[in-house]
Chains A and B, each alone.
Chain A
Amino acid sequence: MLKRAMLTLIALVIAIGGGAASVWYALHVQKGAGAIGVGSWTAFPDIGTPQADPYTNARVAREGVLALGRAEGLAFVAEHDSGGRPLTKECTYRLEGHLPIARFWTLYAADRSLDVIKTGKSRPAALQSYQVVREPDNSVRITASRHPAPGNWLLTAGSGAMYFVLTFYDTPIASSTGLSGIELPRIVRSGCDA
């Protein structure tokens, strides 16, 4: 009798504990179903639409996200550089390459919750396309660093893990067919503070 009760208890603990833990795990990993990767960048074109998968729906409900619509824009997040190493605030990165067609885009450095990094200065850790200087072939080269840099400088601050968020507004790539064959900047690590 006691043995049977023990076995039932074990089954229940595994069911409830395992079920709850696996949902928690699935909702806390950065990559989920429906992700589209371009180089180091990841986007979720379906987030916040009725077509989204149940995991994305649950994440939207839990975090109170109001995702950008198709006519608004599409955001890409990078957590690794082009060499596959995680981005950190101690390092200097060069973002270089061509960007897809959009009315304008914004780029900002974010912390784990994808909020913009607080720089403690009047210059935010954000840039937008009207502010950047372009190369002769219309590509852009941006230096993201804690220290001033010539050319396009994205100020970062602090230490620890960092993310880049690149959002294109009023762009044809936000429709799902527009995403094939687009090109996004490479992220090259060019040095770190000791």
Chain B
Amino acid sequence: MRNLLYAVLVGLVGAGIIHILVLMLVPELSERDAWSRLAMASDLYRMTPLEAETGGQPVVKSVDPLFLAVACRFDLREGMVQLKAPGKAPFWSVSIYDRNGHNIYSFNDHSATNATLDAVALTPAQMLEVRRQLPDDLDGSIFVETPIGEGVIVLRAFVPDESWRPAVSQFLRQSSCELKEL
């Protein structure tokens, strides 16, 4: 009886250890996180709609039904990434996520010049290079300095009602996500 009690006690302590181990490993090993799902849907630097337009499962759940969203994956080790969208939308916002889906930085149309989206994500080292010689086409860009490698950029736009849907999806279709080498 004492032995049984001892075994149960050891089991419970082990359960605690395994609980912590599994919890820490889930983000590392998950194949269902946002990055992996996007990787299955498209390449790096390709803007991908998050909604399933054909009625299938959405690539990544973007939750709010009054929003449309596109996302692209990037890798800052290859160079900076420039996000651009000509045209206007009633409200748009951009979030930059790291490989684990953590929101590193976000901003919306009130932060942009003329409410037009033009942003560059880059590492502090690349920022130093850019400061030395600012390329002409990055003149009005918002610079987001972040010490990450791989990541995801999501552009969300508000669809106030159905009549806005064509215009807003056009805005998102025209957005681009481009690798910029120094």
Contact = CB atoms under 8 A, between A and B. Distances in A.
Nearest to A70: B106
Nearest to B110: A170
Chain A interface helix/strand/loop/mixed:
mixed
Contacts of A167: 64
A123 B93 CA distance: 25
A172 interface: no
B141 interface: no
B17 A108 contact: no
A177 interface: no
Contacts, number: 182
Given A48-B101, A72-B106, A106-B66, A14 B15 contact: yes
Contacts of B37: 64
Nearest to B62: A66
A72 B95 contact: yes
A64 B34 contact: yes
A115 B61 contact: yes
Interface of A: 3, 7-8, 10-20, 22-23, 26-27, 48-50, 52, 54-55, 57-58, 60-73, 75, 103-104, 106, 108, 114-116, 122, 124-126, 128, 130-131, 165, 167, 169-170
Given A15-B18, A54-B23, A62-B26, A69 B71 contact: no
B22 A66 contact: no
A92 B181 CA distance: 57
